[in-house]
Structure 1
Amino acid sequence: RYLARAEELMATDTEDSSLNYGVVVDCGSSGSRVFVYFWPPHNGNPHDLLDIRQMRDRSSRPVVKKIKPGISVTAAAPEQATPYLRPLLRFAAAHVPARKHKETPLYILCTAGMRLLPERQQAAILEDLVTNVPLEFDFLFSKSHAEVISGKQEGVYSWIGINFVLGRFDHEDEEDTVITVALGDQGKPLVRKRTVGILDMGGASLQIAYEVPDSGAISSPQQEEAAKSLLAEFNLGCDVQHTGHMYRVYVNTFLGFGGNFARQRYEEHVLNQTYVHNRLHNQQTGLSPEMPFLDPCLPVGLEDTVVRGGQTLYMRGRGDWQACAKLLQPLLAGSNGSHASLVETYKAPIDFSNSEFYGFSEFFYCTEDVLRLGGQYSAPTFVSAAQEYCSQRWEVLTQRFRGGLYSAHADQHRLKYQCFKSAWMYQVLHEGFQFPLDYPSLRTAQLVYDREVQWTLGAILYKTRFLPLRDLRQESIRQAHASWLRLSFVYNHYLFFACILVVVLAIVLYLLRLRRIHRRQLRSAPHTLLWLDKVVVPLGPGSVP
């Protein structure tokens, strides 16, 4: 397994004619990227998935290319969709061997940027791609290969990609922890390797995805209705009759709960609360730099200004992490109905005694960039480090930053809002998702086995899940043909020996018959001589007696 991971970092051997290829275009909101994948022939085991890997060029760099802006810029002129993607498709075509183009599937999958467009404009862009891309490129591409995917699909694909790279779909490896999965009406419970859940906090949104092994986790009609849109059930195996790769995954995306957006919501909340407080108590808090609002979520002494709708609030940090966390708790309930409640939204039960999670993006940056605690998460250690950071004066923090004590990825923005984001991450994790404070199985990470895992890997795994059937059928035909040849060979040998035996028997019977004839002739020979002795020869005329 570890050797396979090392091989994934090597250049792809494009001279190997047995390799198959696939291309996925991720049309995002700010830009589009193309990823090229490859895989060897399926191993013939119907319980195993394709061994899909990201293609690497001759310099062992991942074959990926990005362009900006997003494809939504073609909304007003959908006929420009194909020219927009042309640089990406040409890039992919240059890396996939030409002899493989016609059998290489191409998937164009659009995410958040396209979801914001009216359906009519979405359809026009996709129609242009379906019509014109095949005119320029020989990839295996049809109408079903171009689509706008939902946030739920994107979350499922991310979950598939992470678990595939971690080897959690390899059920024959018995080293790891297992779980019991209830299959409902489809058969008896299945015991297999435990998968991991994922937590991903970006700037604007928060996403969670994890497997729900127990089909009886829904306890009320209200939960059942909510679960219809939040639970995804799918079979990753190539044969729908095999339940070994049946998965039930809870996926939910919370808009407005990302780190940066949460800060904006917090500032609006503080501004409104402060203005109300000033009116009720006839005070001037936050209306001037001389009387600032003392923000517990900013480092000590740091000054900041919030401007909303013509109102200005002057803030100065007081670095009280505990007070900050308490002040953030109401934000978990959303705001004015414009954002879903992290507390009230249906969440499938998590067995915290037998589960494992990975935290990405802000979960990693928040623990690693400044606090240097990335990796295995410990709530007490994290809280202690966050409190220590928040309590420091701004001048001390900037001096540490210039001295190189923080991660190379840390910047002034990170230093400024680290106190807030650490408190927000803590509240989301332990108050929103109800993770126990002593939960031991959360890892924050940016890379998995030294590489970034994209949701596009999960997408092509899912899209190509039936391809092994082709290899399995070919293998069955080869085995049947080989079996027929073996049977034919054995049958011909038996027939040959049988023919020889018949000929030998015929010769033996013939010789025996000749022998009997010969003996009969020998026995009749004396009688013939006696008969000849008694023969009287008549005398002719003139004969003398």
Structure 2
Amino acid sequence: MAQRCAHPVVPVALLLFGLVAILLLTVPTEDVQEAPGFMYGIVLDAGSSHTALYIYKWPADKHNGTGVVTQHSECHVTGGGISSYVGQQGAAGQSLKVCLDQAVKDIPKEKHQLTPVYLGATAGMRLLHISNPEQSAQILQEVGHKIQSYPFNYQGAAILSGQEEGAYGWVTVNYLLENFIKYGFVGRWFSPGKPTVGALDFGGASTQITFATQEEVEDVQDTMKLRLYGQEYSLYTHSFLCYGRDQVLLRLLAHLVKSQGYSESVEHPCYPAGHSRTLNLNRIFNSPCTTKYRPSSYSPRALLTVQGSGHYERCLANVSEIFSFDSCPFSQCSFDGVFQPNVTGRFMAFSAFFYIHSFLQRITGITVNTPSQLQEATKRLCRMNFNQMLLLAPDQKTRLQDYCASSVYVSVLLLRGYSFDETSFPQISFQRKAGDASVGWALGYMLSLSNLLPAERVGLRKALTPGAWGALIFLFVLLLTAVLIFILLRVHDGKKKGGSESTI
């Protein structure tokens, strides 16, 4: 009899469980943002003039997803770039010590062995590889050994091609501007549908231009296709080796020495009037970029005196001669016979572009937003003497002599070389940072190598809201309580009936 009384519990419980299962299927879901721990990554940007270490972080559960990567910290290595340590055994690696020590402090200890470290060398090492492949390989090996002595996950040291440097800079710019994908206020990822921004990079030994274009790229070496977040991008990208700031200044000086007959003293129209300096000829002619200006024989230790004249028009003429605008094997070219489609859309100019543009505005008081303003500011700067400049920018004393030449070069490069005009030039934004991250190729490099930029559109993971979870827990508690009460009542009824029968 007691067994028979317990039987109704089973169907009732099954019925209730079925109702709960149906409710589970109909409970609404939404995309929720979790707060996981962070993963970290390190990129060493080994440029021609200096090395910078950048630490990035992202949510730990987004390694192959859409997690937003942010810059955690940065450290700038004192001294020159790693290519400047040729012939100094171990010095290139040792130069990184202070910044690597800083990285150990900045990244939580438990994350050290999980943190990938990448070293990318750019145009300075590309030039060294051209002139002396053995020495460039030795320096990469030295810096690799130094990095491996730290408790991080070393991923290797490599020399980036100019095309890679340009493309990674473009990825960085558009990632930071959230042009690929954006996390909205409603708590879900979406494609903002914004056009991408072109990237203009100006380093010590090379300069890069990269932008998305629908025009045919006539030279296949300057085209690159990327698929990011389910979107295909066709890029035009070209890197001009020997057109970085430091190498341009050397080439200009070498050109002046040659055009003035290799005399012991030369007039420099881009130096401030009355300013002079003395240097060894080896400083000028030991670069692969100045080979064509080099005399057939010279004493590397011979001294050269450079006397400034502060003449804008002659400075412009000499800087223009560094470029070749004559021959073009394609339908149109930028310079040196390199094909370039028409520049379209917005651009971000960074690295030395930002510093030169910022200096021009600061020292002349002219807002440089148009080609005419750029030319007017450059003229005004080039006509100042050294003391006038020093009064306005005392913190730039060691660089003042070079700003006229650099500004004229930027003007020729952007307006005549890349063909920015009254319409397109105002579309250039000169920036050092986007948000809290420094703009350059380093972030794009790490994003690509770490697989943090999926090629396909990322699927959204559904999660229950806290309210839905609360409702479900309440239902389960209610179910268990009901079942327990039902069983207790049945047992109680069974005992009463059993007691009544025994009394009879």
Q: TM-score, normalised by structure 1?
A: 0.59
Give me the whole-angstrom Cα distance separating, in 2, the residues matched to 1:368 and 1:473: 46
1:473-531 Cα distance to aligned partner (Å, 9 max, x none): 9967999xx99x969x88x969x98xx89x99xx9xxxxxxxxxxxxxxxxxxxxxxxx
Q: How many residues align?
A: 426
Conservation of the 8 A alpha-carbon contact between 1:82 and 1:128: yes
Alignment of 1:402-413 (within 5 A): 404=391, 406-411=392-397, 413=399
Which is greater in Rg? Answer: 1
Which one scores higher on RCO, CA 8 angstroms, separation ≥ 6? 2
TM-aligned CA deviation for residue 435 of structure 1: 0.7
Q: Choose the corresponding residue for 1:53, options 71, 96, 102.
A: 71
**Counterpart residue number, 2:441:** 455
Q: In the superposition, relative to structure 1, how do residues 287 and 377 fare at CA in structure 2: closer, same or farther (>3 Å)?
A: same
Report the counterpart of residue 372 of structure 2 in structure 1.
Answer: 380
Could you say what secondary structure the match of 1:443 adopts? strand
Deviation (angstroms), 1:437: 3.4
Paired amino acid for 1:21: Y
Report the alpha carbon displacement of residue 329 of structure 1 after superposing the two structures with TM.
2.7
For the structure 1 residues 383 and 413, does the alpha-carbon distance in structure 2 shift closer, same or farther, using more than 3 Å as the test? Answer: same
Question: Distance in 2 between the 1:81 and 1:257 partners?
Answer: 24
- Partners of 2:76 and 2:363 in 1: CA distance: 33
Relative to structure 1, is the Cα distance of residues 401 and 267 closer, same or farther in structure 2, using a 3 angstrom cutoff? closer
Tell me the CA shift for residue 436 of structure 1.
0.8
- Pair 1:152 & 2:163 matched: yes
Matched, 1:333 2:324: yes
Deviation at 1:318, TM superposition (A): 5.9
Q: Partners in 2 of 1:129 and 1:107 — Cα distance?
A: 11
What is residue 22 of structure 1 aligned with on the other side? 41
What's the Cα RMSD here? 5.5
Runs (5+) with no aligned partner, structure 2: 1-34, 186-190, 282-293, 328-332, 494-504
SS at match of 2:396: coil
1:314 Cα deviation from its structure 2 partner = 8.3
1:219-238: CA deviation from partner (whole Å, max 9, x where unpaired)? 6xxx243335xx35353x4x
Partner of 1:344: 337
Task: Give the superposition deviation at 1:109.
Answer: 3.2
Shift of 1:146: 4.2
Aligned position for 1:519: none
Query: What does residue 66 of structure 1 align with?
Result: 77
Partner AA of 2:417 in structure 1: G
The match for 1:257 is 243
Q: 1:422 to 1:91 in 2, by over 3 A?
A: closer
Q: How many Å apart are 1:191 and its aligned residue?
A: 7.9
Residue identity in the other structure for 1:383: Q
Q: Within 2, Cα distance between the matches of 1:65 and 1:401? A: 27
Return the offset for 1:77: 10
Alpha-carbon distance between aligned partners in 2 of 1:412 and 1:129, rounded to the nearest angstrom:
29
Query: Which residue identity does 2:152 align to in structure 1?
Result: F
Going from structure 1 to structure 2, the CA distance change for 1:170 and 1:128 (only over 3 Å counts) comes to same
Distance 2:54 2:352 in 1: 20
State how far apart, in whole Å, the 1-side matches of 2:156 and 2:264 are: 57
SS of aligned partner of 2:319: helix
Instruction: Give the deviation of 1:22 after TM superposition.
Output: 1.9
Say which SS state the counterpart of residue 426 (structure 2) adopts.
coil
Cα distance change, pair 199–79 in 1 and its aligned pair in 2 (3 A): closer
Match of residue 410 from structure 2: 425
Change (3 A) 1:173 1:208: farther
Seq. identity, %: 23
Indicate conservation of the 8 Å contact 2:51/2:81, yes or no. yes
Counterpart in the other structure of 2:216: 218
Partner-residue secondary structure (3-state), 1:38: strand
Q: Deviations over 1:416-473 (max 9, x none)?
A: 444433322211111111111343222334444576435322322223334889xx99
Q: 1:238-258 CA deviation, whole Å, 9 max, x = no partner? A: xxxx22xx4333332222323
Match of 1:266 in 2: 252
User: 1:98-497 maps to which residues of 2 (within 5 A)?
Assistant: 98-112=109-123, 114-115=125-126, 116-117=128-129, 138-141=151-154, 145-171=156-182, 192-210=193-211, 212-214=212-214, 217-218=215-216, 223-228=218-223, 231=224, 233-235=226-228, 237=229, 242-243=230-231, 246-275=232-261, 297-299=270-272, 309=295, 319-333=310-324, 342-351=335-344, 354-362=345-353, 364-365=355-356, 368-369=359-360, 371-372=363-364, 377-391=369-383, 397-401=385-389, 404=391, 406-411=392-397, 413-414=399-400, 416-438=401-423, 439-449=425-435, 452-466=438-452
Q: Provide closer, same or farther for how the CA distance between residues 335 and 287 of structure 1 changes in structure 2, counting only shifts above 3 A.
A: farther
Secondary structure of the residue that 1:426 maps to in structure 2?
A: helix
For 2:406, give the aligned amino acid. K
2:105 to 94, 97, 100: 94
**What is aligned with 2:23?**
none
Q: Deviations over 1:55-84 (max 9, x none)?
A: 4xxxxxx5x363656556898899999887
Instruction: Give the drift of 1:346.
Output: 1.8
Contact map agreement 1:367 1:373 (CA 8 A) in 2: no
Partner of 2:13: none
- The amino acid of 1:193's aligned partner reads K
- Return the alpha-carbon distance in structure 2 between the equivalents of residues 356 and 98 of structure 1: 39
Supply the distance in 2 between the matched residues of 1:345 and 1:126 (Cα, whole angstroms): 31
The alignment partner of 1:435 has SS state of coil
Output the amino acid matched with 1:443. Answer: S
Aligned residue identity for 1:198: A
Provide closer, same or farther for how the CA distance between residues 114 and 232 of structure 1 changes in structure 2, counting only shifts above 3 A. Answer: farther
**1:129/1:256 Cα in 2 relative to 1: closer, same or farther (>3 Å)?**
closer
Q: Is the 8 A contact 1:378 1:440 kept in 2?
A: yes
Residue 39 of structure 1 corresponds to 58
The amino acid that maps onto 2:220 is E
Gaps in structure 1 of 5+ consecutive residues: 1-15, 56-61, 175-189, 276-285, 508-545
Determine the C-alpha separation between the residues in 2 that align with 1:120 and 1:203. Answer: 22
Which residue number in structure 1 is paired with residue 19 of structure 2? Answer: none
For residues 351 and 108 of structure 2, what CA distance do their matches in structure 1 show? 35
The one-letter amino acid of 1:162's match is: V
Distance change in 2, residues 1:151/1:234 (3 Å): farther
Shift of 1:137: 5.0
Change (3 A) 1:43 1:464: closer
Distance 1:50 1:431, change over 3 A: same
